Every structure is written in C-alpha cells, then in structure tokens.
Amino acid sequence: MSNPNLPPRRLSVAPMLDWTDRHYRYMARQISRHTWLYTEMINAGAVVYGDEARFLLKDECEQPVALQLGGSDPALLAAAAKKAAAYAYDEINLNCGCPSPRVQKGAFGACLMQEADLVADCLNAMQEAAPECAVTVKHRIGVDRQTEYQTVADFVGTLARKTACRTFIVHARNAWLDGLSPKENRDVPPLKYEYVYRLKREFPELEIIINGGITDNEQIAAHLQQVDGVMVGRECYHNPMIMRDWDQRFYGSRLPETTHAELVDRLYRYMAAQIAAGRGTTVRHMARHYLGLMHGLKNARTWRRMLSDAALLKPNRPELILEAWAELAPFVGQAEQ
C-alpha cells in the first residue's frame, strides 16, 4: 500500500524505454526533489530470470521512484514484484499502454485493456507479493478504433472493483495495435483529455493521473484543476530543466531551485563515482541523458556537440562535463541564438 510519508503523485516523469534509466533518474532527482520518477518498462521475465541488479539497481536519492513492469502472467509478475520490493521501490506499475508489436507478441501492454479480468489477476498477484508497495496501472483510453468513453470507464471500473489498485495513470490517446508504429502511437491518435477528466468525476475515490502531449507548466496547472496528477514524458527528457520550478510551484517547497552550475557539479561527481565503481559504466552511458540540460541557453549547441562527440567521449573522462560547462557558464542568463 502507499506510504503516507511520500509526496503525492502531483507530478511524475513517464516511463520511457531506453531513456528513463538510473542515470537519467539521478539527474532528474537533482532538479526536483518531489516529482515521482519511473523506470523504463522492464519485462517481468527479465527481472525474474535475468540479472536482477542490472534491471533493478537504483540510487538511494531516487525516491519516490516506481518500477514499471511489462507482462501478463500473474505468477511471473508477482515474482518480479517481490524482487522489486526488496530493492525498496515505492510503487510497482503494470504497463497496459505500450502498443509495440514486440509487446503485443508477448500478449501484454495495450492489448491487456481488452482483458480486464486478467489485469485484475495480475494486479492482485503483484500486491500480494509486495504488500508494502503501491501497485498501480498505466493504460490508454482504448484500443484501435474504440472511440467511446465507456471502454476506458469499464476497464477502470472493473479494476477498481476487483483489486486494491487506486492509482490509474491514463494516457489520453487510443493505442492503435495495427497500422501505426510505437512512435506514431504517441502522436497520431487524437488526445481526449475530457475522457480522463470524466473518469475523475465518475470515480472520485480513485487517484487519476493524466498523461499525453503535455509540454509546459501552464498546461500542467490547467490539468491539475481536473485530475489528481500530471505525468510528463518527452518534454522532461529533451528539456529536463522544465522540472526546475515544480517543487515550488506544485509542491509548495520553499527550498531554492537548483542552478545549472550546481547541477553540473553534482553530475560530475556522480559520473566520477559511477566510473570508479567499475561496473562498466561509461561517460557516454550517462552524458547522452544530459544533452537537453542547457535547452534555451546561449551556446547550448556547443554543450550538445561536446557531450555527443565520439572522440571526446572515448577517453571516458568525467571532466568532459566540466569542460562543456565552461563553454556555457559565461553566457548563463542569455537566450540561445
């Protein structure tokens, strides 16, 4: 069950495959202390049968942090949830929204929206295996050409009735399982925010979080008038400093915002420690997540070029981030040209 000492899920960063790994999450936590962070989707079988540390390792600072699992076998998901609880994740989220063909072949992701009873079995098995964790679900508003509101209302209603799940993260688009790529599925199906708002009105006892196409703080503030929380995806990756004023604006924090200089210093020390740990982590593994950090600043192009230059990355020197910052520091406060 949810820990009452954790901040509410007013803001969260979406699980994004190949993007929200532990290095990205460490950086995000330096920008916002209260925003919920999510892992990329991890197949339950990989956690159970693979190198669990590779998939579940995280930094202590990441809390509040959720693990997103993919799967449709209740026993396998339960075993993965039990392992996740041992790594002190605050939440375990079941993916019922991914539309990729690979996920469909495994009979999980968005196609699970057509099998609410199976999803209920999965959530119940996960909750029983990890009673100290919040077990939640992320889903779409429908599959393929299902356009009626009742589709998502029936799905949520069934799970609310048959499970202890009380947090529903709703990507306000359909998932088209045939004819669109995963990338197109993030943009082509129309957004229907009003469906998510209606869910909150009809299920006031549930925590309803909206996701999809949200790119700025004004949009976030408007959504928070209608639902309990907002999950932001790609904007948080390409422009991470969008999160810089979230603690003050949306959580009432009085602590000062993190400056670019403070962030670079923390990331330098983090990179040095990760390389020294000897687990094979390289500067390239970490720096790829930092390319958008200087978004909007003058000379940001130089920062991006240096942190993605193969020749500069090859020596595996964490000092590279300090050298890139030195090219920008004199211009902080000036807009990108």
Q: Is 17 flagged in the annotation as binding?
A: yes
Tell me how far the alpha carbon of residue 28 is from its chain's centroid: 10
Crossing angle of helices 116-129 and 149-162, in 10° steps, is: 40
Q: Does the active-site annotation cover 61?
A: no
Q: Is 294 flagged in the annotation as binding?
A: no
The two three-digit tokens of residue 17, written as one number: 């495959």
**Active-site residue, selected from the candidate residues 98, 122, 133, 165:** 98
Q: Report the DSSP pairing between strands 167-171 and 142-143.
A: unpaired
Opening angle at CA 191, ends 185 and 197, nearest 5: 135
Q: How far apart are CA 288 and CA 165, in angstroms?
A: 35
Q: Are 258 and 244 in contact (CB under 8 A)?
A: yes
Q: How far apart are CA 286 and CA 307, in angstroms?
A: 10
Q: Is 43 flagged in the annotation as binding?
A: no
Q: Is 138 flagged in the annotation as binding?
A: yes
Residue 239 in 3-state DSSP? coil
Q: Is 171 flagged in the annotation as binding?
A: yes
The residues that bridge with 169 in the sheet, in sequence order, are 138, 209
Q: Is 212 flagged in the annotation as binding?
A: yes
Q: How far apart are CA 48 and CA 35, in angstroms?
A: 28
CB half-sphere exposure, 107, CA atoms < 13 A? 7
Q: Is 333 flagged in the annotation as binding?
A: no
Q: Is 93 flagged in the annotation as binding?
A: no
Distances from the Cα of 181 to the Cα of 41, 186, 206, angstroms: 17, 9, 32
- Catalytic site positions: 98
Binding-site residues, please? 15-17, 68, 138, 171, 211-213, 233-234
Binding-site residues for FMN, please? 15-17, 68, 138, 171, 211-213, 233-234
